[in-house]
Amino acid sequence: MIKEIPIAENIYWIGVNDRETALFESIWPLPRGVAYNSYLIMDEKVAIIDTVKAAFSLEYLKKIKGVLGENRKVDYLIINHIEPDHSGSLRAVLETYPDLIIIGNKKTADFLNSFYGITSQIKIIENDEILDLGHHKLRFFIAPMVHWPETMMSFEERGRILFSGDVFGGFGTLDEGIFDNEIENIDYYEDEVLRYFSNIVGRYSVMVQKALSSIADLNINIIASTHGPVWRDNPGHIISLYDRWSRQETEDGVVLVYASMYGNTEKMMEAIVRSLAGEGIKKVKVCNVSKDHMSFIIRDIWRYRAVIFGSPTYNTKLFPLMGDLIRFLGNETIKSRVSGLFGSYGWSGGAVKELREFVTTMKWELVEPVVESKGAATEDIINDCILLGKKVASKLKSA
């Protein structure tokens, strides 16, 4: 267990590392776990910002006591976000400090009732309101629908620390360090911030943009989010990444997502990939829906400008795991992608038709030819695959 760690004068990280949970929100894989970050401000009034998942309550309370000792009490518990990965220890904290006041906005109060049956000891704050702790002052920025309706951020004015909730947060436990500049392989965490963003927050990109503009003039020193590293070395870097992602700015690369049971669709995939490589496209990511969890595929689709889907027909429809991916993507707000389609079928097909409908609903640009093979690919079909690769490559190069 990492002990409580000061992140500024009288401000402590009191988060926990979760190495047990296999799937975040019961869906997103956690190959290297996840951290639930919580923070404590010691002042004339003691404030805690967010808590941790319920399973970690005991360890969490120990950390609070590690800072406060037995005599000091918690005065305020600020709920930036009530999703239970952050509010799960609320009851445990309340039982230990029965006089504390919960701080949230109007929607938080509604959720405190519906999730926890709590209707008293709540102070409702408005956007831009300030909570005075003595030397530290917390200013609240309500950021609705990033990614829950009650979401808000808290800004500590003295150290210029933004407690940003899930915004800027990512998967991965905090092992080598908790600060960005203590971690050698910070690229890994940045990738995991993109995965968290694309899987969970990205759908609400318009609201993320609103939230980013509300904090644009704060001159932030430290970003302390609810997951992943505390960004103190160069907070502007993670802000600019988040800004680019939520503006749907992409890199010139291709994600090629395919399924194949017996190799027919796979051969087509290989022809397309060779063609892309021959055209000098280096950023090509091949994903197999049967082997790669959609969490990573969604991340890559969020990153790159072009996406090519290939699927065999299965019981008149898309291959089931491809269907799952498409259904998830259809409920996202991923814009302006260049797309290509291919597939293989045995008798009357269906997969490519579904893919075509999907791309049309997404309003993505569709690059012809759409290549469909009855059974094994003939030389003509392979030539069409090569042509598809060339045309996608030329779209990327002309951008």
Ligand X SMILES: Cc1cc2nc3c(=O)[nH]c(=O)nc-3n(C[C@H](O)[C@H](O)[C@H](O)COP(=O)(O)O)c2cc1C
Q: Which residues bind ligand X (CB under 6 A)?
A: 260-266, 312-316, 344-350, 375
Nearest approach, Cβ of residue 276 and ligand X (Å): 19
Closest to ligand X by CB, 149 vs 263, is 263
Interaction mask 198-237, Fe ion, x per CB under 5 A: ----------------------------x-----------
The answer to the question of residue 83 lying near Fe ion (CB under 5 A) is yes
Footprint of Fe ion on 272-331 (CB under 5 A) = none
Nearest approach, Cβ of residue 155 and ligand X (Å): 53
Nearest approach, Cβ of residue 320 and ligand X (Å): 10
For residues 305 and 335, what is the distance between their CA atoms, to the nearest angstrom?
Answer: 9
Residue 83 binding partner per list Fe ion, ligand X, none, with a CB distance cut-off of 5 to 8 Å that depends on partner kind: Fe ion
For residues 259 and 180, what is the distance between their CA atoms, to the nearest angstrom?
Answer: 37
Interface residue with Fe ion among 4, 18, 50, 85 (CB under 5 A) is 85
Which residues touch 365 (CB under 8 Å, ≥6 apart)?
Answer: 336, 337, 338, 339, 395
Closest to Fe ion by CB, 83 vs 384, is 83
Q: Specify which residues 144 forms β-bridges with.
A: none
Closest to ligand X by CB, 225 vs 260, is 260
Half-sphere exposure in the Cβ direction for 283 (13 Å, CA): 15
Nearest approach, Cβ of residue 225 and Fe ion (Å): 9
SS3 content of the chain, % helix, strand, coil (to 5): 35, 25, 40
CB-based contact 196:169 (threshold 8 Å) = yes
For residues 286 and 290, what is the distance between their CA atoms, to the nearest angstrom?
Answer: 12
Residue 312 binding partner per list Fe ion, ligand X, none, with a CB distance cut-off of 5 to 8 Å that depends on partner kind: ligand X
Nearest approach, Cβ of residue 48 and Fe ion (Å): 16
CB-based contact 393:281 (threshold 8 Å) = yes
- Per-residue CA distances from 306 to 252, 338, 382 (Å): 8, 5, 20
Size of the site for Fe ion (CB under 5 A): 4
Residue 314 binding partner per list Fe ion, ligand X, none, with a CB distance cut-off of 5 to 8 Å that depends on partner kind: ligand X
For residues 315 and 354, what is the distance between their CA atoms, to the nearest angstrom?
Answer: 13
Residue 263 binding partner per list Fe ion, ligand X, none, with a CB distance cut-off of 5 to 8 Å that depends on partner kind: ligand X
Closest to ligand X by CB, 282 vs 291, is 291
- Per-residue CA distances from 146 to 63, 233, 270 (Å): 28, 25, 39
Tell the residue number behind the tokens 């796979």, with chain if given: 266
Closest to ligand X by CB, 170 vs 310, is 310
The answer to the question of residue 166 lying near Fe ion (CB under 5 A) is yes
Nearest approach, Cβ of residue 313 and ligand X (Å): 4
Which residues touch 355 (CB under 8 Å, ≥6 apart)?
Answer: 309, 311, 318, 326, 341, 343
Judged by the rule CB under 5 A, the positions of this chain that interact with Fe ion are 83, 85, 166, 226
